[in-house]
Amino acid sequence: MYSDNLVHIWITLLGRPANKIASLLVENYGSLREAYLVKSYTDVTCEIRNNRLLCQRLMDESIKDRAARIYERVLEKGVKITHVFREDYPEDLKNIFDPPFVLYYYGKLPDKNTTLLSVVGSRKCSAYGRKVTYDMCFNIAKHGVGIVSGMAKGIDARAHVGCLDANGYTIAVLGGGPDNIYPLENEVIYYRIKENGLVLSEYPPGTMPLKHHFPARNRIIAGLGKGLLVCEAGKKSGAMITVNFAINEGRDIFSVPGNIDSSYSEGCNSLIKAGACIATSFIDVLEGLNLIEGRKIAGTVGWLNGLDKEEAMVADLIYKGVKIEDICSKTGLDSARVVAITTILEVKGILGRDRHGNLHVVI
């Protein structure tokens, strides 16, 4: 049994970085197929012989047997494959440090014209974080931007669902094989993404989601997006690993501010202090990615659609020029609730602030 996919799987088993190994083999044998057909030491070139470990692995038939078993499982599970030399391999990912040599996936790879935004945050998150993430990703997806995340519980899950509910395109980058649903509580989300987006992994089908896989997969999440949005994360959150990858790859970092007394928001607030773009609305992200022009003050017909009763009431009063302190007396809401509502309205893109910090309605 021989195929190009089998050979590319075999390359990933020879060592890392697989891209450099593949290039070295092509230089020495003219093609990966010819390298795969090497059987004995006499067939090994002098340059490869100087790399003792690679030389041994090149002739190791057990590695080819393992590649064949993986390929059989790929066929059995209906998993698709692309590799770094193919045109359909995501261009932005191809250009990162140590891009995955092979990608296993279900669904549809992004086309060249799709703009992607990576979204991360903590598994343990607040109700505020979940709502902000959903609203941000829903509205960003409505503007044609795809959402990339890791399908973990918490922020990741809300990012995917927000995008899917907006009929958008979303990519789940897994820490196990593409056929391994993890965590199981996100099974419904997994199948929605598989049907309408892309389930992606550098690990072959059947691979369990081991702990050390997740930091490695974070480079893929960071690499796929034009920018990275951190919705809610503590200082020691795994999301901060993805931030470091994104910074190293020159991606724009957007951070949603949170309660200064909440440990859930320590990471986001520290990123803002360090110079990340503050994201109080999805419009901040779209502007930062140069996808829309600046905001316009407005009160257009239908702009209250989709808001709950309290949100619509507060937004309408702000549009009419009522001050925050007077909104409490007019609505019967306490000040803390009004502040919470205005923050949510900013995230939804209903409210913005002028250069003096005053709230106004935007489109």
What 287-290 contacts at long range (C-beta under 8 Å, 24+ apart), as own/partner pairs, is 288/227, 288/252, 288/254, 289/115, 289/117, 289/145, 289/226, 289/227, 289/252
Q: Are residues 121 and 262 in the same domain?
A: yes
In the chain, what is the straight-line distance between the N-terminal and C-terminal CA atoms, in Å?
A: 58
- Asked if residue 167 belongs to a domain, the reply is yes
Residue 295: CB partners within 8 Å, gap ≥ 6?
Answer: 283, 287, 352, 362, 363
pLDDT of residue 300: 45
- 321: CATH: 1.10.10
- Asked if residue 90 belongs to a domain, the reply is no
What residues make up the domain containing 161?
116-288
Q: Are residues 279 and 146 in the same domain?
A: yes
Q: Are residues 126 and 52 in the same domain?
A: no
User: pLDDT tens, 107-163?
Assistant: 999 999 999 999 999 999 999 999 999 999 999 998 899 999 999 999 999 999 999
- Asked if residue 350 belongs to a domain, the reply is yes
Q: Are residues 125 and 214 in the same domain?
A: yes
This prediction has a pTM of: 0.80
User: pLDDT tens, 317-340?
Assistant: 888 778 888 899 888 888 899 999
In the predicted model, residues of the chain with pLDDT beneath 50 are: 294-301
CB 154 within 8 A of CB 124: yes
Q: Are residues 67 and 121 in the same domain?
A: no
Phi, psi for residue 231 in degrees, rounded to 5: -90, -40
pLDDT of residue 117: 98
Q: Are residues 174 and 42 in the same domain?
A: no
**Cα gap 85→102, rounded to integer Å:** 9
Adjacent-strand bridge partners of 255 = 230, 278
Domain count, the chain: 3
- Asked if residue 128 belongs to a domain, the reply is yes
**Cα gap 277→97, rounded to integer Å:** 24
3-state secondary structure of 181: coil
Q: Are residues 123 and 164 in the same domain?
A: yes
Q: Are residues 164 and 251 in the same domain?
A: yes
Q: What is the dihedral of CA 76, 79, 80, 83, to 10 degrees?
A: -100
pLDDT of residue 276: 96
- Asked if residue 171 belongs to a domain, the reply is yes
